[in-house]
Amino acid sequence: MIYILWSLVVLFSIFVSVIYPPIFSIGSFVHIDILLVILSLFSLYLSPFFTLPIFFLAGLIFDSFYMTPLGYHSIVFMSISYIIFIIKGYIFKEKFLFQILVISMSVFFYRLIETVIYFPKTKSFSLIFFNLILSPLSTVLFYSLIYVLVRILKKAMNQYGKTKQVS
């Protein structure tokens, strides 16, 4: 049952990333990669037997919407997930700083591959700046904001629950 819920979270993040990209982009150049945040966190906390097939399918769905070669995003998502699986035994995945490092590494790796592929077509150094510096930074800031909001909500829920039980 929990895997169905996580699969729906992935599908929702694909929907938000593909259908509403202007909401999660700054000036149509800097993109907040919600799916990579989900991929990083799933790879840290869930089994590879669940996450690898899910992100293979998510990559295929992404390819069909963005009209990239079929399998491009699948290979990139699965390689990022595999790298996280390799290093997750060596990090403290409960610490916020390590989550930020894993997310920024994932976004940087994805954007580096995208820059290498698209740079010969555009020959724009602003593409390098936006893809390799601003997009990972904005994604990390977005995750930090969500993390802080969840912590505040959890604290408020715990406090409200305690006062409610005492009454």
pLDDT of 85 above 70 = yes
pLDDT of 10 above 60 = yes
Tell me the pLDDT of the chain averaged across its residues.
82
Average of per-residue pLDDT across 94-102: 85
Does 166 or 60 have the greater pLDDT score?
60
Residue 103's Cβ-side half-sphere holds a number of Cα atoms within 13 Å equal to 27
**First-to-last CA distance in the chain?**
35
Does 53 or 119 have the greater pLDDT score?
53
Are 39 and 79 spatial neighbours (Cβ–Cβ below 8 Å)? Answer: no
Q: Does pTM top 0.75 for this prediction?
A: yes
Average of per-residue pLDDT across 63-69: 84
**Residue 24, number of CB atoms within 10 A of its CB:** 16
CA–CA distances in Å: residue 112 to residues 63, 106, 116, 155: 18, 10, 6, 38
pLDDT of 134 above 70 = yes
Helix axes 34-45, 96-122, angle to 10 degrees: 140
Closest by alpha carbon to 138, among 108, 97, 95? Answer: 108
